[in-house]
Amino acid sequence: MILYIMISIIVIFIGYNVFNTWGLIKKINLFFDLTQKYSLFEYVTELQIGHAAPIFHGKDQFNNAITNEKNQEMLLIFITPTCPVCKNIINELSKNDYPKMDFVNMVFISRGPIEQNHIDVLSSFNVSYLNSIKTVDLFNIRSVPKGIWIDRNNIIVASESLNTIQDVLSMKKVG
């Protein structure tokens, strides 16, 4: 009789665990079905060559409106205030005698304010500087310094990591 009771308890225990396991499996399957059905998870990547550039607006250090809605080519240089390579690219400008026409339609865009002496260097070459976290996020920038060339149709035609001012100038020639 005791054996019969013990076997009954074991069967009930195993049946309960199997039932709970089945319920857990159903809940896991439901979760995966929902994530696929509703695309709850998106993996954001940097914009690629050939993609349309997102529209952005802002004011530069000259208080001029900066946007890529004007049907003109633009070279966007994404930087951060703490990036040593970014600072070096700006410092290289002040050490060389570059023609100012090389920097037409070039915009340095930062994820935070850069040092005033760097703004002064950019200003001396009539290069626009935009402090805009929103614009950096729109372009999904994951590493800096990054150059993105946009053509007249607002299509990204070049996207490169930069190390020197020469890299920046060579991007201007691609466009």
Question: Per-domain residue ranges for the chain?
Answer: 1-42, 57-174
| Position 142 pLDDT exceeds 80 | yes
User: pLDDT-derived band of residue 129, with 50, 70 and 90 as boundaries?
Assistant: very high
CA distance 130 to 15: 66
139 contacts 148 by C-beta, under 8 angstroms: yes
Decide: pTM greater than 0.85: no
Residue 105: per-residue pLDDT: 86
Domain topology for 57-174: Glutaredoxin (3.40.30)
CA distance 51 to 68: 14
CA distance 107 to 59: 11
Using CA atoms, how far residue 56 sits from 38, 139, 154, 162, in Å, is 29, 9, 11, 22
H/E segment holding residue 117: helix 116-124
User: pLDDT-derived band of residue 20, with 50, 70 and 90 as boundaries?
Assistant: low
CA distance 110 to 81: 7
